[in-house]
Amino acid sequence: MATQKADAVIVGVGAAGGILAAELCKSGMKVIGLERGPRLATADFTPHDELRYFQRQDLRPSPKRQPITWRPNSSTPSIPLPILNYGNQAGGGTVHYGALSWRFHEDDFRVRSRSIERYGASAIPLDSSLIDWPLSYADLEPFYDRAEYELGVSGKAGNLQGNKVDGGNIFEAPRRREYPLPALTPDQSGVLFEAGASKLGYHPFSSPRAILSRPYHDRPGCSYCGFCQSFGCHIGAKSSILVTKLPEADATGNFKLLTSVMCYRVNSGNSGRVTGVAYYGPDGSDNTIEADLVILAPFIYDNTRLLLLSKTQKFPNGLANSSGHLGKHVMAHITPRVFAAFDDRCINIYMGPSAQKHSLDDFNADNFDHSGKGFIRGAQISVAAADLEGGPIGTAMAMAPPPGIRRWGAAYRDFLAKYFTRYASIVAQTENLPYADQTIDLDPRVRDQWGLPAPRVTYDWRRPNEMARAQFLLAKLEEIGHAMGSQHVWRAPLGNGMPGAHHEGGTRMGKDPKDSVVNRYGQTWDIPNLFVVGSSTHPTMSGFNPTLTIQALAYMSADAIVNRYKKKPGPLA
């Protein structure tokens, strides 16, 4: 058993933890980062292998060794989720993600107030636990800007200081300046989506991505090979934490990264403060780190699990859980989608960055009038490969054949042979509302490879507000598919209630310590030297991918820690 000391310990060095590590180290703090997987390098990502990385999920946690279990409601037995869409190595999910980098809208930070102002309180489902964020878009804008410029994001502004700009997302919140890099070049699917959506009067644009369209900060521009989602970038053009913030942290000499270690408890005494963490080493050894500051930044499941496992006499329901809100208000995106097939041309959708390629924002957030529609909030709509990855295995897994063709047999073979190169998937990513009974707790039956109880999510998105939204969007997606010139448009099945991508919540932030776990800086209301940073703190999820917001919040937390907390440790808000 080894004991080490540090000014700060960061559990999970991914989208949020990597930024905090670099920023705290640069301020002179000695930081130890704990990472349960390895630290890989760009050279590890050659060659691209769809079976290994997409199908067998090699850059993601193993559903067998590190299970997350799921049940739709508390009276159904849990089963392990078959696909875990987050990271399992230094850099976290930014290593394998599709690198979509959105700023949330202004109204994404005040969904409750905005909905009541426009539609009345009765528009909010009675069982939704919707609250506003404890900060505004304007508070976060400087940190969005910093994240885009320090990490390297490609895109086209649609709203420069309040002036709408053609070619960008005209629904975006005002930004102080252009993106650091021009938008990525659209492929054939983007060209058709652009033309079709424009014909319908919508406002399409090349999706902003943390993928370099040109060389930047000594890294090369994208080669459009198409291996983004599920894969590490073989040239380092994806602005993952591995190639951006970890080298910065290393350069300070103040950073120590421990890999293949599993944090299993946050230690605390009777002083009302935490004293560090306990973790298992790669050899199974039991070790301790003593630190003045503990920052939890793993994926959402381990935040709730760690706090539940770290309960004390003072906090019998989980550390920092005097509110009783730990593990609640879990959200996930689901993705209604249609497939559009073309007889007159190849699309070759396996080319170019593979996740949401070209987008429109006309039906996201509160960008359209929801009156009489039976639901609030919307979805980001884009064109993409079948499972945000364009290889043939992903296509055979995710591309439902059109009605009348089974998923096997001669007709299926002929369908794949003809349309693998001739299809696009049009997908909506929905802003599902928070509900208090969508929860994470400890599974009483299933344990992981370290013998820890598996996190268990209780979740079913199929609620009236969400079902009405999905049906509305499917009709829009079909309309876009036809406008793109497709001869065959059909719907994919909607699924069985299982959470989709981007799980968020569990340690939400708020204005009031009674209905939230942390403040806007991720500092727990109960314990000032314990922080939680990441999408587990999001009170609502927006229709956008969360990573850039996670990163902007991490910059904001780092700024508050370095410039205020260090001088006067104590509550920041």
Partner 1 sequence: MNAHDESRRKFLVNAAVSAGAVAGAGLVPEALAQKEVHREPRDAESAGALHEGGERRGAFFNAQDAETVAALTERIMPGAPGKPGASDAGVLNYIDLALAGAYADLQNFYRRGLASLDAYCHKAHGAAFVRLDPAKQDEVLIALDEGKATEFAWPTAQEFFNTVRVHTMEGMFADPLYGGNKNFAGWRLVGFPGAQAVFTPDDLKSTQAFAREPMVGLQSEAKMPARRS
According to CB under 8 A, which one of 50, 248, 441, 466 is a site residue for partner 1? 50
Cα distances (Å, whole numbers) of residue 437 to 138, 526, 544 = 31, 23, 23
According to CB under 8 A, which one of 420, 459, 461, 472 is a site residue for partner 1? 420
Candidates 273, 268, 291, 297; CA nearest to 529 is: 273
Coil/strand/helix, residue 532: strand
Query: Among 8-16, 202-210, 224-232, 485-493, which window interacts with partner 1 (CB under 8 A)?
Result: 224-232
Of 313 and 408, the one with the shorter C-beta distance to partner 1 is 408
Of 278 and 355, the one with the shorter C-beta distance to partner 1 is 355
d(CA 334, CA 214): 32
In the complex, the smallest distance separating the C-beta of residue 484 from partner 1, rounded to whole angstroms, is 13
In the complex, the smallest distance separating the C-beta of residue 45 from partner 1, rounded to whole angstroms, is 11
Candidates 82, 98, 90; CA nearest to 36 is: 90
d(CA 489, CA 442): 42
d(CA 530, CA 316): 17
In the complex, the smallest distance separating the C-beta of residue 126 from partner 1, rounded to whole angstroms, is 37
Count of positions on this chain that bind partner 1 (CB under 8 A): 48
β-sheet bridge partners, residue 5: 290
Of 175 and 209, the one with the shorter C-beta distance to partner 1 is 209
Task: Kindly identify the residues of this chain, within the stretch 126-185, that bind partner 1 according to CB under 8 A.
Answer: 185
According to CB under 8 A, which one of 2, 51, 251, 475 is a site residue for partner 1? 51
Start-end of H helices in 272-401: 300-309, 392-398
- Crossing angle of helices 547-560 and 17-26, in 10° steps, is 30
Contact status: 191 vs partner 1 (CB under 8 A):
yes
Structure tokens at 264: 């299993």
d(CA 547, CA 231): 17
d(CA 374, CA 304): 33
Structure tokens at 4: 């080490």
Contact status: 187 vs partner 1 (CB under 8 A):
yes
For 467-524, the DSSP string reads HHHHHHHHHHHHHHHHHTT-SEEEEPP--SS---EEEEEES-B-S-TTS-SB-TTSBB
Residue 234 falls in the annotated catalytic set: no
Of 405 and 436, the one with the shorter C-beta distance to partner 1 is 405
Of 396 and 501, the one with the shorter C-beta distance to partner 1 is 396
Instruction: Measure CA 399 to chain center.
Output: 23
Query: Among 148-156, 221-229, 273-281, 444-452, which window interacts with partner 1 (CB under 8 A)?
Result: 221-229
Contact status: 47 vs partner 1 (CB under 8 A):
yes
According to CB under 8 A, which one of 417, 451, 567, 570 is a site residue for partner 1? 417
Coil/strand/helix, residue 193: helix
Amino acid letter for position 436: A
For 75-88, the DSSP string reads TS--EE-S---S--
According to CB under 8 A, which one of 396, 400, 436, 468 is a site residue for partner 1? 396
In the complex, the smallest distance separating the C-beta of residue 77 from partner 1, rounded to whole angstroms, is 15
Query: Do 399 and 423 form a contact (C-beta atoms < 8 A)?
Result: yes
Binding mask 308-337 toward partner 1 (x if CB under 8 A, else -) reads ------------------------------
Contact status: 416 vs partner 1 (CB under 8 A):
yes
Task: Kindly identify the residues of this chain, within the stretch 336-395, that bind partner 1 according to CB under 8 A.
Answer: 345-348, 350-352, 391-393, 395
Interacting residues with partner 1 (CB under 8 A): 43, 46-52, 55-56, 58, 64, 185-188, 191, 223-227, 234, 345-348, 350-352, 391-393, 395-397, 406-410, 412-414, 416-417, 420-421
Query: Catalytic residues, which ones?
Result: 502
